[in-house]
Structure 1
């Protein structure tokens, strides 16, 4: 007659519990590799274009405004001024856009039971967020090394600014993931709505220079708080007292929660429609 110890009975249970987690990690890893191949592996230059796009935007703004103004609204260097506005803006735009297309991009793979919509969201979020953070580091480091910007970096505020940008990208991206998959027309609506964002998000002009009552309206644009926090992190003299991280994180949380609830309820209908 065979007897089993307590440890013998626990080991199988642990392996059963850990197996779904390992499967999820393996699925996310495979989706990340697929995303890297399709997004950056098919075009000449690959990841180089991820750096050249924001670099081109910064150079264009520097070329335009340096011809008409002696100095930017803050400091004495146009490149660092526009970089602190454009880089978090591009992060938000890229990550939110990629998350919004997660279901449509991986629709065929999501038909397999081992791959969930959360795997697709996490894979796209991890890859594109890390890519944009690396691009920001490369460009900011290059500008600070090449020019005398006369800026003083506050690392805690830089981290806060990027945390706000990432949280907004998650919130809008998850909600858009549902809306774009459920209502295809929302893709066109979103592209139209976001076109003027560059002008009303503090990238080109400071919040303080906008006259009332428009300044009060633009305060509700959460990206204005992101650029304000980044500018305050680089320019000691700029207080950016209008920045409210609680508003940004609260809005992001609401959008994320409702987006996930809608996806959980309707993702099967979307995938198999």
Structure 2
């Protein structure tokens, strides 16, 4: 009798959990579609523009660098050198910035009782992750059209670096959601300026090994530096991966994500006002 009751309880809990998961998937699917429509409209042109913006960002920086530099500081290809530097920055910046605007751009959806702020944030994370993958694939395809070898030596390590860049961007995006709720949307201006500063001192244009030791000590606290070096280590066998602090990237992203989740729980009322 006890075994039967225990089995019945487990079955009931499993069925309840399955229903909750199914409901969550339905809500996320509906919110994701509505988020795409509110940002890109009902045509495919809007989505193409959203993809073209970060892609053109990478392209402009790459072309501007190639006009000034003909010999790469590392390796034989200046395009590969600058591409491996700017790609992590773009793949981190855009999710971090756009996730922060998920609630203001879809606030009307919070009038539906079953939809919570977390649904809006998660749907934007999914959308921006997909966008990041598409942007990277298109960038590599365009570069490949010019007969430039853009495929990494270590594909697995490159995939980890790209995943870490997107994870850091999503984690910072969660944190930005909370900070924007506390101090207003102008916090994004501060965040973008901060990211530009981190980008300039991340070794995108000049490898850290060419910097004085005193400068490298300060650069070591920049997570963007380790992202760039991590991706380049997958392309250049001469890079010493032991000097790359991968744990810093994961810690910064993880702590930002945790603070964002905690802040969303305690500041949930602010998102409805």
TM-score, normalization: structure 2? Answer: 0.85
Deviations 1:3-52 (A, max 9, x none): xx989998776544422222211111111112222333468733433453
Whether the 8 Å CA contact 1:50–1:135 is kept in 2: the answer is no
What secondary structure is seen at the aligned counterpart in 1 of 2:167? Answer: helix
Whether the 8 Å CA contact 1:99–1:170 is kept in 2: the answer is yes
Deviation at 1:70, TM superposition (A): 2.7
Deviation at 1:152, TM superposition (A): 4.7
Whether the 8 Å CA contact 2:96–2:173 is kept in 1: the answer is yes
Superposed CA RMSD in Å reads 2.7
Residue number in structure 1 paired with 2:190: 189
Deviation at 1:264, TM superposition (A): 0.3
Residue number in structure 2 paired with 1:123: 123
Deviations 1:90-119 (A, max 9, x none): 111111112212222222212333112221
Deviations 1:169-227 (A, max 9, x none): 12211111101122104233223323333312232222222323222112111111111
Deviations 1:151-179 (A, max 9, x none): 65201211220122122112211111101
Deviation at 1:84, TM superposition (A): 1.5
Residue number in structure 1 paired with 2:36: 36
Structure 2: which 5+ residue stretches go unaligned?
Answer: none
Moved more, 234-243 or 177-186: 234-243
Alpha-carbon distance in 1 for matches of 2:10, 2:232:
55
Residue number in structure 2 paired with 1:22: 22
Moved more, 152-161 or 56-65: 56-65
Deviation at 1:132, TM superposition (A): 0.9
Q: How does 1:56-205 map to 2 (within 5 A)?
A: 56-144=56-144, 146-149=146-149, 152-184=152-184, 185-205=186-206
Moved more, 187-196 or 230-239: 187-196
What secondary structure is seen at the aligned counterpart in 1 of 2:234? Answer: helix
Residue number in structure 1 paired with 2:248: 247
Alpha-carbon distance in 2 for matches of 1:29, 1:150:
35
Whether the 8 Å CA contact 2:69–2:78 is kept in 1: the answer is no
Moved over 4 A (4+): 5-15
Deviation at 1:53, TM superposition (A): 3.3
C-alpha spacing 1:108/1:11, structure 2 compared with 1 (3 Å): same
Moved more, 239-248 or 146-155: 146-155
Alpha-carbon distance in 2 for matches of 1:177, 1:150:
35
Number of residue pairs the alignment of both structures matches: 268
Whether the 8 Å CA contact 2:58–2:90 is kept in 1: the answer is no
Alpha-carbon distance in 2 for matches of 1:68, 1:17:
58
What secondary structure is seen at the aligned counterpart in 1 of 2:203? Answer: coil
Whether the 8 Å CA contact 1:75–1:149 is kept in 2: the answer is no
Give the helix-richer structure, 1 or 2. 2
Structure 1: which 5+ residue stretches go unaligned?
Answer: none
